[in-house]
Amino acid sequence: MALNGTIVFARYAFMPNRLNYCGGDDNKELFNYCVARHSDPGLFEILQKFQAALPYLKLIAHSNGIADPFDLRVVEAYWIGNSLLNRVDLVRFYDSLEARFAGQLNGKALGYLLSKPPLGARPHHSFHVFDVHARTGSLTHDIETMDHCRIGWGRVVEADPGRLLVSHRPLKLRGGRLVLGSEEPRIITGQIDGNGFVSGFQPGDWVSFHWDWLCDVLTERQVNNLERYTRYHLELANRTL
């Protein structure tokens, strides 16, 4: 069954919501929607509470003439990356960041953040992790936290519905720069009490994860886009690290 944008967004948003990092107090409902793959106005209402991500979705949608910020193409652009990001008006992106964060950041930190749209930053989740979280203090700013908060990807080595072993490239700090390290194994959780969002994967498949929670099986195109935009925003973050 094809998934719509609200369900895909919810899959990626579920675990940080469970950890009380974003969204409202609706984690059980969010989980049940994802397991059932069912979308209705109740899910849409829950997703309105993700105030960190929603402005990015609206910006991507508006820049591409898409009415629904939870359109599947828009959701993919934010979490994974796709060509919609290249059509975002960077002046509008700058203005959006200034309006959101001018009251939270001091002059120097705000200046660093606002320097990124003119350099080509895009409203991708990796930008928010590497440049926004790092300055707002909304999460502990360390390598481990950033590595869990970004959308990770890896190739399945051992496939079990509840726990997967994947090979992935973790975030590292080398010579004062953020980089993707060498491949290493990582355990990813795929179920809670016997229920999860993704099934049918097998060794060799590419999967995405967020806070070590399995979100989706990726196509080669999606893997390439996710790596591309992650590396791109790592380089931008390194300019003001």
Task: Provide the residue count of the chain.
Answer: 241
| pLDDT value, residue 139 | 61
| pLDDT value, residue 220 | 98
Q: pLDDT of the chain along its 241 residues, tens only?
A: 567 999 999 999 999 999 999 999 999 999 999 999 999 999 999 999 999 999 999 999 999 999 999 999 999 999 999 999 999 999 999 999 999 999 888 889 999 999 999 999 999 999 999 999 877 766 666 899 999 999 999 999 999 889 999 999 999 999 999 999 999 999 999 999 999 999 989 999 999 999 999 999 999 999 999 999 999 999 999 998 7
Could you give the dihedral angle defined by the CA atoms of residues 116, 235, 85 and 12, in that order, rounded to the nearest 10 degrees?
-110
pTM (predicted TM-score) = 0.95
| pLDDT value, residue 161 | 81
Count of CA atoms in the C-beta half-sphere (13 A) of 172: 11
Paired tokens of 151? 């959308």
Contact, 156 vs 205, CB < 8 A?
A: yes
